[in-house]
């Protein structure tokens, strides 16, 4: 009887723990189902998600779609992002079997540049967004939660950065740092974090007045625990939406800097740089349409996909659009 009783208690204990696990995970499962249902109901969200996934697949398969071939270049640069070319030829060549998208000025292969430029676009967008988000979160949380002199000092410094036109300041920083894609990303990061700081600070100022935050403080929770467990999770959603929208605009800014000759070097696989090499051929009729239309389509659809995906995140996360 003791053995049966012990086994029965163990079985009941396992069942009780399973019930607790199920009760704890049920809201998460319901939330995921709700998010997926909102995405399915929005055709534009599906289009945006499909475009981003499509470009992600291209980036992952770039070494397969356009394998680097060191023997097929006269630049002697051992970098997979160096666009190959067979010879020096100033006049672009139309699409052919060897060059599906044609060649740009100086015989740079457009297909290779567009495929590997997808990786460059993801690098620029994700690196700059995550870097700006990290800086903005830290400064915004500290300034908004503690307030006082700390808030004044941090926000006045943020206002100083906001006082400069973004693209002009980025051009000045890249000129000072030197021409390279890494310096472009650094410049965009340095001008991008203030917008996240302001947004997260405003959310923190609103959230920290809520009753559950005051209750957490009253029971003796540390500031770190209150911020991590209560304040930040309830204020992060607008940042996610803005970050997804910013990825597209950052790619456009990086392309603009490359077009102006301040971004990636001439041989580098970057969409903006490819369009820059087509400047001399844009006004010479439609015979050279492929030199700027094809990279332009890549930029347009990539940015469009992220903008539509940002709208999808807004529909999912905006509490004013959610079900009861």
Cα 266–268–272 angle (5° rounding)? 75
Residue in the structure block whose two tokens are 């909102």: 38
Q: Which fold has domain 52-321?
A: MetI-like fold (1.10.3720)
Residue in the structure block whose two tokens are 């030197």: 178
Return the structure tokens found at 256.
């603009």
Domain ranges in the chain?
52-321
pLDDT tens track for 223-236: 888 888 888 888 88
DSSP string computed for 183-198: HHHHHHHHHHHHHHHH
Using CB atoms within 10 Å of the CB of residue 236, give its burial: 0 to 12 exposed, 13 to 18 middle, 19+ buried.
middle
Q: Quick count: other Cβ atoms within 10 Å of Cβ 232?
A: 18
Check residue 96 and give its pLDDT.
Answer: 87
Check residue 68 and give its pLDDT.
Answer: 79
Backbone dihedral angles phi then psi of residue 22, each to the nearest 5 degrees: -65, -40
Residue 78 CA to residue 62 CA, distance in Å, equals 16
Q: State mean pLDDT over 144-161.
A: 89
pLDDT tens track for 64-100: 998 876 555 545 456 788 888 777 777 888 888 888 9
- Give the range among 79-83, 186-190, 296-300 with minimum mean pLDDT: 79-83
Is residue 35 predicted with pLDDT exceeding 80? no
Closest to 156 (Cα-Cα) out of 200, 197, 206: 197
Cβ atoms of 288 and 260 within 8 Å: the answer is no
DSSP code at position 260: T
Whole-structure pTM value: 0.83
Q: State mean pLDDT over 270-295.
A: 86
């Amino acid at each position: 009887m003791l053995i049966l009783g012990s086994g029965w208690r163990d079985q009941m204990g396992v069942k009780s723990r399973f019930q607790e696990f199920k009760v704890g995970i049920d809201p998460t499962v319901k939330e995921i189902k709700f998010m997926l249902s909102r995405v399915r109901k929005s055709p534009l969200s599906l289009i945006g998600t499909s475009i981003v996934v499509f470009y992600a697949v291209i980036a992952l398969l770039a070494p397969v779609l356009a394998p680097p071939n060191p023997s097929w270049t006269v630049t002697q640069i051992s970098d997979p992002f160096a666009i190959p070319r067979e010879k020096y030829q100033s006049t672009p060549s139309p699409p052919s079997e060897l060059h599906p998208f044609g060649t740009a000025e100086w015989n740079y292969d457009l297909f290779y540049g567009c495929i590997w430029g997808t990786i460059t676009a993801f690098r620029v967008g994700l690196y700059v967004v995550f870097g700006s988000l990290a800086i903005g979160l830290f400064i915004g949380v500290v300034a908004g939660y503690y307030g006082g002199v700390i808030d004044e000092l941090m926000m006045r410094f943020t206002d100083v950065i906001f006082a400069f036109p973004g693209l002009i300041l980025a051009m000045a920083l890249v000129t000072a740092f030197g021409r390279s894609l890494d310096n472009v990303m650094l410049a965009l990061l340095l001008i991008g974090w203030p917008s996240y700081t302001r947004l997260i600070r405003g959310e923190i100022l609103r959230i920290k007045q809520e009753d559950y935050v005051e209750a957490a403080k009253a029971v003796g929770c540390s500031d770190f625990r209150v911020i991590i467990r209560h304040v930040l999770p309830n204020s992060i959603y607008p940042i996610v939406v803005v970050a997804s929208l910013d990825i597209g605009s950052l790619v456009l800014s990086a392309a603009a800097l490359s077009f102006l000759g301040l971004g990636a070097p001439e041989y580098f696989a970057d969409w903006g740089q490819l369009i820059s090499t087509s400047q001399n051929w844009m006004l010479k009729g439609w015979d050279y349409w492929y030199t700027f239309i094809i990279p332009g389509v890549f930029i347009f659809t990539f940015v469009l996909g992220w903008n539509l995906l940002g709208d999808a995140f807004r529909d999912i996360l905006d509490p004013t659009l959610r079900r009861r």
